[in-house]
Structures are given as C-alpha cells and as structure tokens.
Amino acid sequence: MDRPGGLLRQQARGWTMRRTTAGSVALGLLLVLGLVLPGEGRSGQAELPVLRDITEEAGITFVHSIGDQALSNIVESTGAGVAFFDYDGDGRLDIYLVNGSYRKEVNHPRGRRMASGLRNALYRNNGDGTFSDVTAKAGVGDDGYGMACLAADYDNDGDADLFVTNYGPNVLYRNNGDGTFSDVTAKAGVAGDLWSVGCTFLDYDRDGFLDLFVANYLDFDPKYRSFYAGDAFPGPLSYPGQPDALYRNRGDGTFEETTRAAGLFNPRGRGMGVAASDFDDDGDTDIFVANDAMENYLYRNNGNGTFSNVAPLTGTGFGQNGEATSAMGPEFGDFDRDGLIDLLVPDMGYGCLYRNTGRGFFEEMSAKTGLAAAAGQYTSW
C-alpha cells in the first residue's frame, strides 16, 4: 500500500482512520486467537506453523495505490483483489494483482502525477520460488480503478480467462492460450458502468457455459460530505445503493444481461461480495450477496432461469442479533463435514457462520464456535 498502515474504524455513518503499528496488530492477533508458536505448544494442542514474508525475494515488487496520498473517501477505502491461477497451463499458480488509479472525481488533484504507471499486474510463477512480471507481455495491465478479479474458463477452451471489476467499466480478458490475453469486454458486453466490487462465475441455467454475476456497490457522489470532521468521510449509508447484474453466457463469446428476467434486480443493494453454490442440494447453483450496512441476499435458484430471495426465510439476511452487518467476502463450504453446504460471511463485527440444518434454514454459529471472539475486534474482508 502507498499509505501509512492503519485500521478503519466506523463512526456512526462515517469513517475515520486510526493509526496503529504492524507490531501491535500482530500481537493483538496472537492474543485474541490464543495462538502459540511452534515449540511452545500446550498439552494436547496442535502447534501452528510459522510463516515468513518472502515477497521481496520472490520478486513481487507490486505496490498498491489508492490514486493519491490521502485516504479521503469511501472509494479509496475499498479494494483491491488478487487471484491465484495458472494462466499459462504449466501447472504452477501465477498471481494477478489489482491496483487503484487516479480518478478526478475520487482523488485529490495532487494524485494526478501518480496516474502514469498505475495498473494491474500479472506475475508468472517461475517454478523456483520466484515470479516474473509479465503484465505487458500478457496484455492484462488494466489501468482502471480496480476492485476485484476472478479467473475462470468462460469460453470452454481449456484456458483460464480473467474478469476484473472496477469503479467504472469492468474488463474481461480472454486467454489466447499462448501466454497472452485479449480484451474482449466490448464484444462480450460485460463492461457495465457502475461501481462493481464482487463477482463470480456460475452456470445458473445449466447449459454448460459459465455465466457471470457482478455485485455492484454505491452511487458515489464526491460532492457529498455531510457533517464530518476533517479526518472522516461519509460511510455507505450516506449513498444510494446500486443494482447487481447477471450476465448469461450465450456460448458464442457474448453475454446477455438477464438481471430483471431472473428476478435479481434490486436498486437498493450495496453489494460487496458474492458467492455461488448449491446450498439446498437440488442441482441448481444458488447465489449469496453480501451487502454493506444492510440485509444480505440469498437467491435460491428456481431451476427455470429465475431466482427467489430466501435470506429472510433461511436466517441468512442478518447477523447473530438480527442486525444488518457490513458484510464483505462470503464463502460457501461444509465446515462441520455433515454433507451440507454452510456459509461464512465476514464483516465489520463478529462475523457470521451459518450452519445449514438441512431443513431449509441456517443456524448462526459464530458465538458457539468461537469465531465471534476471534474476529470481533477486527474488520474482516
């Protein structure tokens, strides 16, 4: 990052920055999680591995930027994503990193001089513990104000393609299979013009082609400041939400937006993250959308090209106390190994771990499992 280390702290409907040191964060994590170092394990407790930062020796020189030197609005406080995927088919995971950029309506004018050179980066895994920057050669150096990225084979040619969400138009890169990519956004019809954050590929209509769901966030207005101190700025509730988007893959390299037809259009949403899985085990892929400062959406796939929001009925719309959480990046998985798909939703509070009961609803388990105690002091993305 190109800004001092710090933690975001929410104050009512606004945000401010609280400075802290890396040492205090690391120590705090050790204390709150009750971790012990190898060689100092308690009786009957498994010892944990020690991780070492090898970024520099691995050749990763990427530095993330928010477009200027000062964190002054909610756009600058959001992002950015990373994807590990094998772009060249050599069996080794490569790394794609999303960067910010200078935008007149977002950044301070002094950030203009930083505009040149701010772009996303692709690092090829050399197989010897090092990586090489192949961004220019691969043609994936998008210079938009990046938020997230996702790799998947949308055209069924055996190569992993790449989708990038931005504050502004998104980008779809088609993998050419020779170490390069082509920007096919315009042809595919998936650019959009909103503030996109989360995204996922899924085959919602079971036609064998991966479709695309994009979670859109806020209608940011740089002129709106409300009444905040000099070191704070308006939070998510200060701005209108934006509707998410579902794109159906036609199978010919193009997509058709089917948001309204699928029953997914909701202009109130403040989507931060999205996950897809068959939570009800009916053979169709369902969608969960994590919204910021409001209820979340769990869309059950009806199997006929449409979805129904069952979050209120399943108990996944709100937190453990019935409150709207500032939800971030959700993930489906079977944490208790009972064969049913559960759901983890990190947020600015205690986090939510929803256990699938198999009877059409979920039980919130963050307190019972100890997750709340571990995550409650920190913002989880």
The pLDDT value recorded for residue 379 is: 84
The pLDDT value recorded for residue 121 is: 98
Cα 366 to chain centroid distance, Å, stands at 21
Cα 58 to chain centroid distance, Å, stands at 25
Assess contact for 35 and 42: CB atoms under 8 A: no
Rounded to 5°, angle at Cα 141 from 137 and 146:
160
The pLDDT value recorded for residue 157 is: 98
The pLDDT value recorded for residue 338 is: 98
Q: Peptide bond preceding 83: is omega within 30 degrees of 0, i.e. cis?
A: no
Reported pTM: 0.87
Place of tokens 């800004």: 3
Domains in the chain: ranges and CATH: 6-30+54-327 (2.130.10)
The pLDDT value recorded for residue 2 is: 39
How far is it, in rounded angstroms, from Cα 297 to Cα 280? 15
The pLDDT value recorded for residue 315 is: 97
The pLDDT value recorded for residue 223 is: 81
The pLDDT value recorded for residue 227 is: 59
Residues of the chain with pLDDT under 50: 1-40
The pLDDT value recorded for residue 229 is: 59
Q: Any idea of the CA torsion for 310, 204, 292, 335, to the nearest 10 degrees?
A: 80
